[in-house]
Structure 1
């Protein structure tokens, strides 16, 4: 195996085409976060982004997108934002993960959403469910499954949708729009949500805002930014921005106007989005790893993603272990314990309310 490392902007059309062909050759890679367009766009905004190109003789057999940080610490592209990570490679390809990260100039590569079947896995990792809305049989069969699994939620969502329309006006759903105006409305809602729940506001970082804007402007058959919004009497109520391949839509930034909260606008929107996505050819909506009530109510399947690291022996790897691994294990303990998770979530929301008051 021969490895060369390049910045995404250095990739030519032959490399991009080969990457896309490898991605489309295996369903495990059917996620827009593994698409070359995503890495190239992030690379235009973030200097640490690199791509390792793997060769078997003259043939390209894989692409490994990553970020290289000080001390040789490697992370996925746009770490903390992406719900699918890993190496896009030819079927039957095998490698030594330690040799790969050495060729990339890395001491450690850490991941938290590594997709299934990766040769980067060495057995020292944990796996987590990533809920999906499976639309391969169509939207109608999905709703039938939903009625059987979450009948109360499905019926109450339809009832709340009718009530919302009686009390506020006619409902309209715009799917796959490219107008930046509604996007700014959505990002404003998302910022309010982050602050309200005590989370870090991702959109306080200008590069993330610009990333979303650039992805919205990227429209092709194989990759596109997807913005959709639900309106009542032409007033925006809820929406979502994500990215898609031909057949997979990655759930990314859903949000709604809290003044409509009693109507469950998020659930109303997700059902509308699923119906429109299915009609456009999307077969799976990957909602991403994470314990969220709406995901439990809407899912009818799940993938598995892995969390862990690949490390070479050395000082940098040891320092990384001391700084990151105990924290990750503590987080995993909290996430696996409903009482601890509820307590932590309550503490974050209390912090969010205090921060809102103080920022007045």
Structure 2
């Protein structure tokens, strides 16, 4: 960390020289080829997320990197968390401060990251998965996937025919920017969070504003946000909100009518969106973290990111261990197994909620959900 200095500024305080250097770094650094690293994303999110700022790192008077972030009390998080699917220091290879150096220079009680791009021994690795189109484009990808996973894709073809027979001809549109459609999608997501006992990331308000503002955006290099929708007859069955820049297309927030789950409208929409977007030159379709079963049938590429929490020695570390011990007592030794799940729930709550009271309310609800998850196997085996 010798000679490394940091200045914390608002995004709107960066001059055009800084933004030009930012763009030059992106052009030289393939690992940062994601819409989340584009200046326009930081400019918009930096104006909306509470306590947002950019850390400007210098060495010997020369700018070597930028880190967009936000503060929640003593905690530091990537800008727009928990909705930021990739984050890290915007710096050229070999010049980026380490995660530990970032935490030290920024101060705070802890730095929490869920998808850190860059070398660090801290935390745990997680995989994100992508569809990478080859020279034959979408048709070549689909032919290879159908041959490799015939049963899965034949089932989706049957689902398409079934939905069309039941509800009418299917129609897909992409490049949608209607705010009323976005409100419909957000309503679906909030219902989903309630059903699954997850924290409602849209209840805080600023996250809704962020999606609406990004939907209006148009930045250099094709940066933007848009939605794609699947209609059956006159009925809207699924929507997906995505970010895109260059040849990268990042699927972000999908939603579909739960009553039509048997027809897989969300999966059909993703396939048709890729087909239409590929005609416009998009070649990488990012599905975020692996996990949902359908992604293994779709994705032929992967990246490794890091999930970590760098805690300042003292009370923060003691509290973390005490929380795990409390879960151990409630869950009969399952505290370590639940650590990652609880940490992610808390990270989302802390990032969304800007008042202590709202964070406390969210934490109580998350603890209840975690304990219910612990006890479910006990009830099933009783």
Q: CA deviation at 1:129?
A: 1.5
Gaps of 5+ in 2: 328-334, 343-368, 377-382
Query: Which deviations, in whole Å up to 9, do the C-alpha atoms of 1:220-253 show, x marking residues without a partner?
Result: 3431012111112232111100212212222211
C-alpha displacement of 1:280: 2.0
1:64 to 60, 63, 67: 67
Aligned partners of 1:271 and 1:191: how far apart in 2?
24
State the secondary structure of the residue aligned to 2:229.
strand
Shift of 1:321: 4.1
CA deviations on 1:163-193 (whole Å, 9 max, x unpaired) are 2222211111111111212222222222222
Partner of 2:14: 11
Alignment TM-score, normalising by the size of structure 2 = 0.79
Hey, what's the Cα distance between the residues in 1 that align with 2:338 and 2:212? 32
TM-score (norm 1): 0.84
Q: Do 2:49 and 2:79's aligned partners in 1 also have CA atoms closer than 8 Å?
A: no
Q: What is the deviation of 1:275?
A: 0.9
Residues 83-131 of structure 1, C-alpha deviations (whole Å, 9 max, x = no match):
111111013315454443333233432211112xx14x1x232111112
- Tell me the residue number matched to 2:284: 284
Match of 1:39 among 42, 47, 51: 42
Match of 1:298 in 2: 298
Query: Counterpart in 1 of 2:175?
Result: 176
The correspondence for 1:128, drawn from 126, 129, 136, is 126
Q: Which residue of 2 aligns with 1:198?
A: 197
Structure with more contact order per residue of length (Cα contacts < 8 Å, sep ≥ 6): 1
Evaluate the alpha carbon distance shift between residue 211 and residue 164 of structure 1 in structure 2; reply closer, same or farther with a 3 A threshold. same
**Are the counterparts in 2 of residues 169 and 232 from structure 1 also a CA contact under 8 Å?**
yes
1:299 and 1:310 map into 2 onto residues whose CA distance is 31
Number of aligned pairs?
Answer: 335
**Structure 1 189/97 Cα, relative in aligned 2: closer, same or farther at 3 Å?**
closer
User: In the aligned structure 2, how far is the partner of 1:39 from the partner of 1:329?
Assistant: 35
CA distance in 1, matches of 2:73, 2:189: 31
Q: Could you say which residue in structure 2 is the equivalent of 1:331?
A: 338
- In structure 2, do the counterparts of structure 1 residues 325 and 70 end up closer, same or farther at CA, with 3 Å as the change threshold? farther
> 2:209 aligns to what SS in structure 1?
helix
Residue 268 (structure 1) aligned with residue 287 (structure 2): no
* Cα shift at 1:333: 6.9
Q: Secondary structure at 1:288's aligned position in 2? A: strand
Relative to structure 1, is the Cα distance of residues 97 and 158 closer, same or farther in structure 2, using a 3 angstrom cutoff? closer
CA distance in 2, matches of 1:75, 1:106: 10
Cα distance, 1:97–1:189 mapped onto 2, change above 3 Å: closer
User: Residues 138-163 of structure 1: CA distance to partner in whole angstroms, max 9, x if unpaired?
Assistant: 21121123113322111111221122
Q: CA RMSD in A?
A: 2.8
Give the deviation of 1:219 after TM superposition: 1.9
Unaligned runs of 5+ in 1: 336-343, 352-360
1:311 Cα deviation after fit = 4.4
Structure 1 residue 287: Cα displacement: 1.1
